[in-house]
Each structure stands twice: as structure tokens, then as C-alpha cells.
């Protein structure tokens, strides 16, 4: 399967940004069609390969070899002479698809050297505070956990992820404390959605575990 990225636009501006995942090599079929196998097209490619790939209107040939493209946005009249389509890069498409960009950032993180470091980095109060968590522990909580669980230095932190999750529906409320956990891990994380309704919780030790949970719950927030 291959991913292809397109911008649909008129002279007045973009109409949509579309990602197509297909077993068909759409671009290969376009450039190997008779219309693109001319000396004129070859000259255009040699003059500027980037412009040849990304800055020319390929709507007619695209609809011919991949008619399913019409279904990608049925509100657009692709037969209109005012509507154009060009290929775009993955990076350009990511600027217009927040969820896809988040998935790609996580994939990049997953394949980076940083992930091996994060697996060995225990979450600490310093890491939480450096990443914007607010210390909200009350005296009565410290007293309770000291008397009932033997925790000498109970800590409770909170953050809303609205600084990175621009879509209000994606914002999480994260509460993390160092109560005794069933798993024996250092921290307990409770997760609420934007309406302050509980949607999950987990016991954590390290930064990698925290970041994995953020990916699972669709947030861009990372330690």
C-alpha cells in the first residue's frame, strides 16, 4: 500500500487536502501515461523535478486513472474547470491534518534514539514541573497518605493539555500522584476528557510509558 497526498484548489484558495492510501501506484501510472511521456514533459522534469511533481495540475489524468478520487470529497465538483488538483508532500499534508501529524510524530519518536532513553528515564517531580504540571497537593492529602499509606512526601500534580491540543475536544486533564499503586510503580495517572469525565488511568514508572498513553488517547502532549 502507498500513500499519496493531494491539494484540491481553485484560483481563490484551497478546497481540501486529501490523503489516498492505495495499492495502485497512482503517480507511476500518471507519469507513464502517453500524455506525460513526451519530450516537452521530459524537459519540464529536467528543468525542475520538484515543480514537475508538485506544482502542476494533474486533475484530468488523476480522475482518469483513479476515478475513486471523486469519492474523497463528494462536496467538490471535480468536473468544474475552476477546480484543480496537485500532488503535495507528506509534510505539507501534515500541516492540515492534525491527527495524521500526531501519528507521524509518534512514529518518528518510536523510531528515534530518544525512545530508548525515555524507557530508562523515571518520572520525577522535576520532569513533571519542567513540562508544565502544577503542584496542587493539599495539606490534608499529605497528612492522609502519610498516616494511611506511610508516604512521607505525597505529591499530586495536574495539567490540561490545551497548550498543544488545539482542538478543544482533544484536550485532556491529567492528574498524577505518587500514591501506593497495585503494580508497585512510582506514579498513578488519571485521565479525564475535556468535559472532566474519567476516560482512563494507569500506573507508570517512566517517560516512555507516559508518552505511549498520550498517543493512545490522541493527545500531542509529551514529556
Q: What is the pLDDT of residue 98?
A: 87
The residue from 52, 70, 96 where one domain ends is 96
**For residue 133, what pLDDT is reported?**
97
Taking each helix axis as running N to C, give the angle between helix 98-110 and helix 207-216, from 0 to 180 degrees, rounded to the nearest 10: 150
Co-location of 86 and 12 in the same domain? yes
Q: Would residue 150 count as lying in a domain?
A: yes
pLDDT of 138 reads 94
Residue 69 cell numbers, joined: 478520487
Contact 21, 68 (CB under 8 A): no
In the prediction, which pLDDT does 78 show?
94
User: DSSP for 14-26?
Assistant: EEEEEEEEESS-H
* 86 and 129 belong to one structural domain: no
* d(C-alpha 192, C-alpha 210), whole Å: 15
pLDDT of residue 169: 86
Q: 112: which DSSP letter?
A: S
Q: Are residues 71 and 142 in the same domain?
A: no
Helix/strand/coil for 40: helix
Q: What is the pLDDT of residue 7?
A: 96
pTM more than 0.75: no
- Low-confidence stretches of the chain (pLDDT beneath 50): none
Domain count along the chain: 2
Instruction: Quote the percentage of the chain above a pLDDT of 70.
Output: 100
C-alpha cell at 12: 481563490
**Model pLDDT, residue 158:** 97
**Parallel, antiparallel, or unpaired for β 13-22 and 84-87?**
unpaired
Cα dihedral sign for 89, 91, 95, 98? positive
Residue 188 sits in which domain range?
A: 101-216
Are residues 187 and 171 located together in one domain of the fold? yes
Amino acid at each position: 500500500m502507498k500513500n499519496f497526498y493531494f491539494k484540491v484548489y481553485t484560483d481563490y484558495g484551497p478546497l481540501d487536502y486529501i490523503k489516498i492510501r492505495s495499492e495502485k501506484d497512482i503517480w507511476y501510472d500518471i507519469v507513464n501515461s502517453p500524455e506525460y511521456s513526451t519530450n516537452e514533459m521530459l524537459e519540464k522534469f529536467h528543468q525542475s523535478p520538484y515543480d514537475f511533481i508538485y506544482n502542476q495540475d494533474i486533475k484530468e489524468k488523476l480522475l482518469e486513472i483513479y476515478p475513486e478520487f471523486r469519492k474523497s470529497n463528494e462536496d467538490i465538483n471535480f468536473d468544474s474547470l475552476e477546480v484543480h488538483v496537485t500532488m503535495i508532500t507528506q509534510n505539507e499534508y501534515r500541516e492540515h491534518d492534525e491527527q495524521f501529524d500526531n501519528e507521524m510524530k509518534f512514529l518518528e519518536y518510536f523510531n528515534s534514539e530518544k525512545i530508548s532513553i525515555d524507557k530508562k528515564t523515571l518520572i520525577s517531580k522535576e520532569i513533571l514541573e519542567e513540562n508544565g504540571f502544577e503542584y496542587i497537593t493539599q495539606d490534608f492529602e499529605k497528612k492522609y497518605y502519610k498516616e494511611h499509606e506511610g508516604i512521607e512526601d505525597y505529591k499530586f500534580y495536574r495539567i490540561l493539555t490545551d497548550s498543544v491540543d488545539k482542538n478543544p475536544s482533544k484536550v485532556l486533564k491529567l492528574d498524577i500522584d505518587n500514591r501506593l499503586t497495585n503494580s508497585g510503580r512510582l506514579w498513578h495517572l488519571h485521565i479525564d476528557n475535556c468535559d472532566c469525565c474519567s476516560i482512563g488511568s494507569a500506573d507508570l514508572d517512566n517517560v516512555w510509558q507516559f508518552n505511549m498513553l498520550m498517543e493512545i488517547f490522541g493527545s500531542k502532549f509529551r514529556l
